[in-house]
């Protein structure tokens, strides 16, 4: 189903074994898992990657690095799809404020993380080296 990266949380009744994905969705207030294969294909068709797994920003317009605070100020859509490097982890849809409020849990799920606005007009990459880049989807 999805990545078996597991963490152990000590509880009073022993050890609870949950995945980083499960921990992530537990802290998000309102999300939905994308299950429609046609929509998944449409989302992924907007993810143009280089051979080394970073977004190929030459395929987009107005690409530039941003800070977490600047993401709040980006114009347009406030609902985003979250895509992780591991293809076994489902794509989820969530509000950008909820994503950013829980960014550590969102980014812990997989190596790199991408956000694509539900209107398919903006992409944001959280690259594993700490760089955040955004661009407009053509």
Residue 126 burial (CB count, 10 A): 22
The pLDDT of 105-110, averaged and rounded, is: 95
pLDDT tens readout for residues 48-67? 998 888 899 999 999 999 99
The pLDDT of 110-131, averaged and rounded, is: 94
The pLDDT of 21-26, averaged and rounded, is: 94
pLDDT tens readout for residues 5-20? 444 444 444 444 679 9
Long-range contacts of 56-61 (CB under 8 A, 24+ apart): 57/133, 57/135, 59/138, 60/123, 60/135, 60/136, 60/137, 60/138, 61/135, 61/136, 61/138
Weakest mean pLDDT among 7-11, 112-116, 130-134? 7-11
* β-strand partners of 95: 79
pTM of the model: 0.85
Domain boundaries, the chain: 6-136
pLDDT of residue 20: 94
Q: Is the pLDDT of residue 72 over 60?
A: yes
């Amino acid at each position: 189903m999805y990545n078996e990266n597991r963490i152990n949380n000590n509880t009073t009744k022993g050890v609870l074994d949950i995945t980083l994905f499960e921990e992530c969705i537990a802290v998000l207030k309102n999300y939905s898992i994308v299950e429609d294969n046609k929509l998944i294909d449409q989302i992924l068709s907007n993810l143009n990657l280089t051979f080394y797994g970073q977004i190929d920003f030459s395929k987009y317009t107005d690409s530039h690095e941003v800070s977490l605070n600047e993401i709040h100020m980006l114009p347009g859509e406030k609902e985003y799809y979250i895509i992780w490097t591991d293809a076994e982890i489902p794509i989820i849809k969530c509000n950008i404020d909820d994503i950013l409020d829980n960014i550590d849990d969102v980014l812990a799920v997989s190596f790199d993380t991408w956000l694509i606005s539900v209107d398919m007009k903006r992409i944001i990459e959280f690259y594993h080296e700490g760089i955040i880049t955004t661009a407009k989807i053509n």
